[in-house]
Structure 1
């Protein structure tokens, strides 16, 4: 009798491949969206993150907070991150209280009783504050310290070079009794009488 061979069912594996491909596509979409929102302005993106230093924006922001700003059209009332040539690359996080983007914005810290001496235009505005992460900047400052990285490196080298304990040899596994009662892994000295 001839036996008819049937093709193996592949429904389960093709479904898994489809779900795997869908998962990969969704993963790339998530990465693309995150990259769009966190790509730094210094690399041509639209996001600027700054660690707050000082008391000028209290109680809105405190020292050590991180403010994330996105490129957007600023308006009066917005908190902006700006930098001008007069600041030598430093960035300021303050609120717009008047002016316009062509002639210059009037900006002031929420805790200041004076207006900033700079009048940034839209060209100077790096972004409008969109996200605030309290105290995370304190940890970032710690991680930027060469002393911290040197200590971590020293500890890693110490763990790598630390001598390991020699493994104990378990003699009971190497010795087995033969049928006649003699031990198979132990060599008897030649020319010696062994009593049993």
Structure 2
């Protein structure tokens, strides 16, 4: 069965804003405490997975009883975070799009690792976004159109050492065949000047971060 959209709920900061992302027919994955969040709010995860070290034994039983499928992993003998395990599971489903929800939190190491997961989806030509209450993070490797939304800023950061041929149209600060090196902040805090804007690059991978205060 073709799956159009997969939402992965992790154990980060989740609230009503996260529930508003769910659409009919979405395939729901709960990673560790993210599964409990879905169930507590009346949703049945298609898959719940992880080492479940963030929930109690009683909460784990609730997860098992209210998930279509539960996959357990040993908390010591595993090579990936619960979020990456969920990400790999989602990629194997070959959906049109993946949303990673609640993946930005107080652990910067986990947050940065989760951002890097976007590259795995880009390599498979799968649309992917990380979404939290204040940010939407994506990767562009060729071109992308942005529509004016509630986000105030658009920041562009190189994910590869060099991103070349960057052309921005419809932005307050346009660029024409520009080059960004990793570590530069030139692309921070741009804004849309029109209802839609385009990003085009010739070489490399660029993080596109829409954000609001």
- TM-score, normalization by structure 1: 0.24
Question: Which structure features the higher share of strand residues?
Answer: 2
| Greater Cα radius of gyration, structure 1 or 2 | 1
Q: What's the TM-score once normalised by structure 2's chain length?
A: 0.23
Structure with the higher fraction of residues in helix conformation: 1
